[in-house]
Structure formats: C-alpha cells, structure tokens
C-alpha cells in the first residue's frame, strides 16, 4: 500500500509537550510544531528555564502571532499534553522518564532519544539493557502509549528559520498501530516530512544506533543528512 497523506487524522488540535524542550533537538521540534500552529508546551526541570525557552521560540520567524508556546516544569507539561516527546540526553533518560510515569499515564509518548557514546573514533551505539531507549521508556511507562520517532531529524535544520522544508521520513516503531497514523500526521505538519511505520519496538535499536552513521555522514560531507524510504 502506497503512502497516502490524505488518510491521516487531523491532529491540529493536539497539545504537544516536549520533555527536554530546552535542548537542541527539543527546541528544534518545538519550533517546527509552533510554526505549524500546534499548541506546544516546553518542559524542563526548571520551570523558569522552560518559560524562557518558550518565549524565545515564540519570537522566532514563522511562528504565528498569538500562537501558543509556553513553558512549565516537566510534571505539569506531562499532565497538560496529549502527545509528549521525550528529547532528553541519554544519561538522564531513565530517571526523567521514571519520574513522570504517573502524569504520563494514558498519554501518547514519543521517544526520540539515541543512546550514543563518543570517543576519539567518533560516535557509536551504546548497549541498552532493555534493547533500546524506547523499550526502556515502555518498560518504565506501562500505562502510556509509547513509540519511537524523530530519531533522525537534524537539530540544526529544525532550528534554522530559513529552512522551509525538511525532506525526510520519520521512522516510527510501536506496538500500537493507531499511533503510526497519529504520529505520522504530526510529522506531516512539518513540510517535507512523512511518518513511516518501521516495525515493533524491538526494531527500534537499529534506528537509534543508525544515528551514529548519520553523524559520520554529516561530518564527512558537511551535510545534515536524513532518511528517505523509496518506493512508498
């Protein structure tokens, strides 16, 4: 079955919360969703820092005047959002997610964290006891609807106001097939993006790990490479 964006649900009314919204990836995703007119909540351990980041994003080019971008502590963002994106550093992933298990109950949780290490030879994939970052999140969030997505989106491209389209596919891994359409529809709110189902959660490890290859590609070719799936 070919990809058909016309079949995707209307997600324009969903509130998107971003845990780790003050970091590069979180800020970039927040900016793109705000540009699309989505209601965005920036989460941080510090409510003040989150509010500052939200104000900065709201003032960026392309964000609709009067648009809704606000900041709050992680717990409040988790409670107020329909969809919550986890975009924290890997070394704080488990502790952050575990602390939010109660407010994230019943929520859609999108994990875009890539467990990578770095040494003199460059980036490399780390071994995760649960199999992947998203599987760790799923184990810690038994009452949430969990998927992996947005792992391969370049933070510099997301943050660049002069970039109107980001032509890549967002690979989605989940046990919950309904999430594929919901998260795919959110991806499609960013011009140029498509959401593509890439298998169950157990298949997320190689997607997270492939980010190390993309970093190597970007360094070699001075690019901001992404993934595009052919024949769809």
| Separation between Cα atoms, residue 199 and residue 222, nearest integer Å | 31
Q: Which domains does the chain have, with CATH numbers?
A: 3-219 (3.40.50.720)
Residues sharing a CB contact under 8 Å with residue 218, sequence separation 6 or more, in sequence order: 154, 224, 225
* pLDDT one-digit tens code per residue, 72-81: 999 999 999 9
pLDDT given for residue 65 in this prediction: 86
pLDDT given for residue 2 in this prediction: 78
Residues sharing a CB contact under 8 Å with residue 100, sequence separation 6 or more, in sequence order: 19, 74, 75, 78, 141
Q: What is the pTM of this model?
A: 0.97
| Separation between Cα atoms, residue 139 and residue 231, nearest integer Å | 34
CA distances from 225 to 6, 58, 173, 231 (A): 27, 27, 20, 19
Q: How many CA atoms lie within 13 A of 89 on its CB side?
A: 7
Surface-to-core class of residue 153, CB atoms within 10 Å of its CB (0-12 exposed, 13-18 middle, 19+ buried): buried
pLDDT given for residue 3 in this prediction: 84
DSSP for residue 147: E
| Other beta carbons within 10 Å of 86 | 27
Q: How many CA atoms lie within 13 A of 114 on its CB side?
A: 23
Low-confidence stretches of the chain (pLDDT beneath 70) = 1
pLDDT given for residue 228 in this prediction: 97
pLDDT given for residue 1 in this prediction: 66
What is the SS3 assignment for 82? coil
pLDDT given for residue 78 in this prediction: 98
């Amino acid at each position: 079955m070919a990809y058909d964006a016309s079949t995707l649900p209307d997600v324009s009314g969903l509130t998107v919360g971003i845990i780790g919204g003050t970091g590069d990836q979180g800020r970039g995703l927040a900016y793109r969703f705000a540009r699309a007119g989505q209601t965005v909540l920036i989460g941080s351990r510090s409510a003040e820092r989150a509010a500052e980041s939200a104000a900065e994003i709201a003032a960026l080019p392309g964000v609709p005047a009067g648009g809704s971008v606000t900041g709050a502590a992680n717990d409040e963002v988790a409670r107020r959002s329909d969809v919550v994106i986890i975009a924290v550093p890997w070394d704080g992933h488990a502790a952050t997610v575990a602390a939010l298990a109660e407010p994230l109950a019943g929520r859609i949780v999108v994990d875009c964290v890539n467990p990578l290490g770095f040494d003199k030879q460059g980036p490399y994939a780390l071994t995760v006891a649960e199999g992947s970052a998203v599987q760790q999140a799923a184990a810690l969030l038994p009452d949430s609807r969990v998927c992996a997505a947005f792992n391969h989106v370049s933070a510099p491209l997301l943050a660049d106001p002069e970039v109107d389209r980001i032509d890549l596919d967002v690979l989605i891994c989940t046990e919950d097939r309904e999430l594929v359409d919901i998260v795919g529809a959110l991806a499609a709110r960013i011009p140029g993006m498509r959401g593509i189902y890439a298998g169950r959660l157990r298949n997320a490890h190689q997607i997270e790990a492939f980010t190390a290859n993309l970093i190597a590609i970007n360094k070699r070719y001075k690019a901001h490479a992404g993934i595009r799936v052919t024949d769809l």
